[in-house]
Amino acid sequence: MKTLIAEDEPVSRRMLETFLRKWGYDVIVTCDGSEAWEIFQKPDAPNLVISDWMMPNMNGPDLCRKIREMEKSGYTYFILLTAMGKKEDVIQGFQAGADDFLVKPFDREELKYRIRIGERIIKLEQQILHLATTDSLTGVLNRRAFIERTEEQIHRCVRENSPLALLLTDIDYFKKINDNYGHQAGDLVLQKFTDQLTRSSRPYDFVGRYGGEEFVVSLPGADMSQSRAVADRMRKSVEEMKIIPQDGSEPIRVTASFGAASLLMDSKENAESLIKRADEAMYKAKREGRNRVCVAGEE
Ligand SMILES: [Mg+2]
């Protein structure tokens, strides 16, 4: 786990660094609050901070306040080091948003266990976040998380003037699978289907479950012809799948219909409007006989 040390005093700084590395943490070392704040502006900032109170340029409580004010995914656990152990100071530190304190000169074992508490809280938060954003059956993003991430991508693509495409796909005659083979087999089909979508997508694409047997794929950077190519690859790989039910009976074959839509740069586009156009294209694919890809805006 990535940690950050902010400490202006060289001996204490070196001790902290040595201990943390010895306990297996990735460590970034800074000499004051403003240097630490620089690190925090960058992506992949550390989740755990051990900061001295008194430092030049920016002190520990100010650093903590700034971190608390920023919008950052994932919690930052903040331990303040202080020579000041007075009750008013402790309260002031908590008011700045610190999670914990350590009075200098600190005890090595105490430091170790206080860091462990922080690590436990960070990991719990990550687990909760995972549960809240993942579809439990298929392991892809759930609808809300997919929409949130797509909104972020739309903002980024509009800012950078780069393309983005969205696929909406629906398994053909899925109800029949449940009726003929039972719900357990239906669930297996959904899992295998999403595995196939994930495997056929590019590393920066992301897949979400939109509804029962409806799935969505965001393709950042993909123009219309690339998105058609990805959708075609997915469609073919689904068609070739042989899904063996748990009871070992005859393999189940499925197909899926795909609709693709591209981000419009000249409008106030959002995830909802993009999904709606992909959905219309998908229904066109259904009407035209299923197991095909239709692109929004193409005749
Ligand atoms: Mg100091």
d(CA 4, CA 18): 13
CB atoms within 10 A of CB 81: 23
Indicate the fold that domain 2-133 takes in CATH: Rossmann fold (3.40.50)
Q: Closest Cα to residue 74, out of 34, 50, 43, 100?
A: 43
pLDDT at 266 over 80: no
pLDDT at 177: 93
Q: Given pLDDT bands bounded at 50, 70 and 90, which one contains residue 12? A: very high
- Token pair, residue 121, equals 């809280």
Cα four-point dihedral sign 275, 276, 278, 282: positive
pLDDT tens per residue across span 212-258: 999 999 999 999 999 999 999 999 999 999 999 888 788 999 999 99
Per domain, the residue ranges of the chain are: 2-133, 143-295
d(CA 193, CA 177): 13
Alpha-carbon torsion angle 188, 194, 200, 203, nearest 10? -130
Q: Which residues are part of the catalytic machinery?
A: 213
Q: Given pLDDT bands bounded at 50, 70 and 90, which one contains residue 59? A: very high
CA of 24 to the centre of ligand 1 (A): 25
Please tell me whether residue 218 adopts helix, strand or coil conformation. Answer: strand
CATH code that applies to domain 143-295: 3.30.70.270
pTM of the model: 0.76
Alpha-carbon torsion angle 87, 91, 94, 100, nearest 10? 10
CA of 12 to the centre of ligand 1 (A): 9
263: DSSP letter: -
CA of 11 to the centre of ligand 1 (A): 11
CA of 82 to the centre of ligand 1 (A): 8
pLDDT tens per residue across span 157-184: 998 999 999 999 999 999 999 999 999 9
Please tell me whether residue 289 adopts helix, strand or coil conformation. Answer: coil
- Token pair, residue 181, equals 């083979």
| Radius of gyration over every alpha carbon of the chain, rounded to an integer in angstroms | 25
Residue 167, burial from CB neighbour count under 10 angstroms (0-12, 13-18, 19+)? buried
CA-CA distances (angstroms) from residue 189 to 163, 256, 298? 32, 12, 31
